[in-house]
Every structure is written in C-alpha cells, then in structure tokens.
Amino acid sequence: MTRETDPAARVPDGRLHGDLPVVDAAEAAELVPDDATMLVSGFGSVGYPKAVPRALAAAAAGDGDDGSEDADAGRDLSLSVVSGGSVGGEIDEALVEVDAIARRYPFQAREAINAAINDGRVAFADRHISSLGDDVRFGGMVDTDGSVAVVEAVAVGPDWLIPSTSVGLTDAFVEAADAVIVEVNEDQPLSLAAFHDVYRTATPPERGPIPLTAPDERIGGPRIEFDPGKLDAVVETTGRDAPYEFRDPTDVDLRIADRLGDFLEREVERSSLYDDSLRIQFGVGSLGNALMGALGDADLGDRDLIYYGEVLQDGLLDLLDAGELRSASATSLALSTEGQERLFDDAERYAEDVVIRTGDVSNGPALIDRFGVVAVNSAVEVDLYGHVNSTNLGGSRMISGVGGSGDFTRNAPLSVVALGSTAGGGDISKIVPKASHVDHTEHDVDVVITEHGVADLRGTSPRERADALVDCAHPDYRDDLRAYLDRAGEGGGHEPVDLDTAFDWTDRA
C-alpha cells in the first residue's frame, strides 16, 4: 500500500480558517441568481448542501422570516441544477415542490424530481459520470457563465475547502463556477479529510495519464483549491445526510449472490487476470450491497480482494471489518445511517484502507482498464441478444440515470449484469425479446446473472446468446421467449427479430 502521507495527518485543526465571508443561509441564497446554473456537491445521496437549497426553496415560496407565506412575493427561480450523483430532499424535493428547478443534470434518485422529469416539468439530460467534470469545465453540457457552486465541506479557508462525505465532481464544479458558496457542516466530522484524495486532471491536449499505479495509492490531498476571488459566502450549518437505507436482502438477492460467488470462484481460477488479486466494482443499491456479501463467502484462494468503484456501501465495511477486503477506492461514502456511525466512530482505522477520490479518477476509463476491474451492475431489463436497459421503464419513464454503470460496463475487462428475473411481483419478465431502451450494448456486456442462472456471453453468436439468456429467465416466461425466437428466426438474419411482436412485452409493464 502506497501512501503519500499518513491519512490522519490530513485532518485540519478547526473548520474556519482565515478571513471568510460568513453569512446565514438566507443571505447566501440571495447571491444565487434566479436563473443560475447551480453546481452542487453530493454523490450517493451524501455530501450535498442542505441549508442554502432550503433557503432558496423558502424564498421561492415567499416564506418570511416569521414563517408567513406570500406567494406573490416569492422569487421566480428557474435553476439548472447539476450534481455528480444523487442528492438529498433539500434539493430534489424542496426545490421541485416550489417549481424552482428548470433543468436537472445528470442523475437523481428521489420521487419528486423523478415525477417532474417524467411529466416534462423539468428538462433532464443523462450523462456518464466519467465525462461530466469535463462537460462542465469546458462547456459541453451547461453554460457556466454566472454559475454558482454550492458545496458542503468540513473545513474551509480563503482559497480551499475540504469536502464532507463525498468528493464526486465537486472539484470540477468549483473550478468551472464563477462563484462559490461553502456550507461548513459541523455535524460532518473533520476526520473525513483523512479519506479524501483530490487530484485535478490537466486540460487537454496537455493532459497526461493519471499517475495512479495501485487502487489504494494516494496522488493528491484532502483540499479542493480555488481562486479566492470566487468565494462569495460561507454558511455554518448542521445536519447529517439523508443517505440510502438498504433493504434487507430478499431470497432472490441471495440466490443471485450465490451464483455470482460461484461464477467468480471459477473465473479467478480460469483467468490469469486474477493471479494476485480480484479488483471489483458494484453498482449502488440494495442488490449491490447484498452482492458484496457473496465475496465474503466466495473461495478466492489466497488472492487479495480490492474494491475500485464509485461508492463505499455498508457491505464493504463488513468485508473490511472481517479482514476480507484489502482496500477500497470510491468517490462517495454512500452508507446507511448505521454505516455512517460505524465509520465516523473509527475513522482513523478505516482511512488506512479507504480512499475517496474525484469522480473522474474513480470512474476513469483508463484506470478501470489499468486495474482490470470486474464491473457488477444491475438493470431494468436485458434482451435476448444482450442489450441492457438501465434507466427507462417501458422505454420512456426515467428512473434515475445511467450514473457510472456505463463507465465500468464498457471499460472493464469483465462486465457482469446481475438482476432478478422478474419485476412487478412476477408479472413482468426482465429478460425480454428486445430492450425498450439501450444503455449498454451487446458489445459491452460479458455475463448476465439472475437467480435462475449464469449466461456467459463471451465469444457467443447472437443466437447462442439468446439461448443462454432464455435459460436465465424465469421458468414462467421461457416458453414464450422460445416461441418468440422461433418466429423471429423465420425471417433469418444475424440477429433475428420479429418487430411486429418484440415490444408486446413492454405493454405488460
């Protein structure tokens, strides 16, 4: 394990450093233009600003200091909100309820913003996480003229800040924004600085390779630095994140986990890629959290187990505590409330093995390839030729966004899609004739795992893929899928398809 410094030495002494423009949240909110592009910290529903968004929502509603409400006096906000990942209700609920968000990029995970997107009230654009920082820094997604970065930190100085529970794309947002507002949250422990490794990539064409040679190496420091002329306001706040609460694993989850564990045991023995260690990534969520448990039970021989992904979830803490995980690299501490308490109570110990990076490093395509990461992500549906829909129910209703699944699925030497075979209480098959929306093509997906089987698609023809995927479908749907393939096959072709009936299955959703 290579360390630039002792992680504990990175923890600052105190939260506010130097002469700072300290104001309250309402005053800071007044500095955000009505039609601003607002770049907010946050990833995995943690590390997002709380007080300023609440103050903006109150201003839009016309709430007075005494709690009175005068809608006619409210601000007419039309914000374009950009985050690295999912954030809390202070942004994606409170601001939506007062119609303060006109545009939202590129990932969200709360019912209010999701409904507004699907109703057409909020314009939404999905995007891969690895390219988001450059999109913002270099004008590829939003107009950052007059933009404001509103970020949560554990400490701040005149030209620097230390993020709280996520790093995400905060570094890029602060660089791109014309103004910066920092919420210093005293309920987020200063010890979080020990986890952070902020590294800023250069501007193309002078950009060189990211100098990370091992998943647990540190190449930066805990601070995000910026032009001191950008710092418009510092707000002292309190209040913990409202993170994911992982459901208990279902019987289906556990059966998928068992199949994944069995597959990985065979794979590490078969391939020289894993002679010394298994490097792996899991998508965020309850299934991903459950799948991590499979690694604790799998027989990997004397190989080290290393996590290189986006989010640190509770399942990884369990593996660290059991001594079964050598290290974890991510961009967010996306833990449950209980998981946060575990980490905060013993931060110095965990920081020896956990590194929290910027999103363009955690999701960097070259690094995923360099470290030979096994990608494990879930999906809405998989079609018979291996095309994967991760984002849109029935092909049209956005769920949350592609997030980092594309970064890992496309660039990993081994990409796995793990999902239950049905949804809707068994009324909907998740193995379908033709995906109603495609996020990951047949060229990017190597293995599909359900509770009913493992379809290893590597080196197979489309017809062979289809046969393997039918065997992974729920038994109730296999005869219908085979009948579909028979009809499609009558027309011939490399990937036989019956367009007249392919999307009949979508109607069942």
Residues with catalytic roles: 310
Burial call 200-209: b when 16+ CB within 10 Å, e when fewer: bbeeeeeeee
Assess contact for 92 and 275: CB atoms under 8 A: no
List the end-to-end C-alpha distance of the chain, in Å, as a whole number. 48
Cβ partners under 8 Å of residue 321, min gap 6: none
Q: H or E element: which one contains 118? A: helix 111-118
The CA distances from residue 248 to 9, 80, 245, 289, 322, in Å, are 37, 36, 10, 10, 20
DSSP state letter for 460: -
The phi and psi torsions of 41 (rounded to 5 degrees) equal: -70, 165
Q: How far apart are CA 376 and CA 209, in angstroms?
A: 25
As a whole number of angstroms, the distance between CA 413 and CA 411 comes to 7
Q: How many C-alpha atoms does 249 have within 13 Å on its Cβ side?
A: 20
CB-based contact 135:127 (threshold 8 Å): yes
The b-or-e profile of 57-89 (16+ CB within 10 A means b, else e) is bbbbbebeeeeeeeeeebbebebbbbbbbbbbb
- Give the torsion sign (CA, 297, 303, 309, 314): positive
Answer yes or no: are the C-beta atoms of 332 and 170 closer than 8 Å. no
DSSP string for residues in 266-323: HHHHH-GGGSSEEEEEE-SSHHHHHHHHHHHHS--TT-EEEEESSB--HHHHHHHHTT
**3-state SS, one letter per residue, for 161-208:** EEECCECECHHHHHHHCCEEEEEEECCCCHHHHHHEEECCCCCCCCCC
Quick one: which of 131, 155, 153, 135 has its CA closest to 144? 135
Map residue 415 onto helix, strand or coil.
Answer: strand
- Which residues are CB-contacts of 492 (< 8 A; sequence separation ≥ 6)? none
Determine contact, residues 193/6, Cβ cutoff 8 Å: no
Residue type, 16: L
Cα dihedral 343→344→350→356 (10° resolution)? 90
